Amino acid sequence: MYEQLIDFDGIFNLAFKHTEELIELGFDISDPAGVTELEWIANQYPELTERCNNALLELIKKQAATTPAFVGAGYSENDLDSF
């Protein structure tokens, strides 16, 4: 019922746009130390979780294709011992 009052498409589109802007600014959106707006929205609205997660995975693949050396630089299997 409340779904009629919330513009889920607008929320998703804005979060997607802001996440693309992070990529353009040079942020590694695959870095687990950061939280993108898509991730935050996915946690706030269960109705958007799958859509946000799929979009984020596509953006990460897109970023990896354009800057392969950069994506994933914040994470390494070798870092697991420090946790």
Residue-wise pLDDT for 24-64, tens only, equals 998 999 998 889 999 999 999 999 999 999 999 999 999 99
* Cβ neighbours for 69, distance < 8 A, ≥ 6 positions apart: none
Burial-class residue 11 by CB neighbours within 10 Å (0-12, 13-18, 19+).
middle
More confident residue, 66 or 71: 66
| Whether the Cβ atoms of residue 17 and residue 55 lie closer than 8 Å to each other | no
* Cβ neighbours for 30, distance < 8 A, ≥ 6 positions apart: 60, 63, 64, 71, 72, 74, 75
For residue 75, pLDDT beyond 80: no
Is the entire prediction scored with pTM above 0.85? no
Residue 69 banded pLDDT, cuts 50, 70, 90: low
Check residue 72 and give its pLDDT.
Answer: 55
Residue 78 banded pLDDT, cuts 50, 70, 90: low
Angstrom distance (rounded) from CA 42 to CA 45: 6
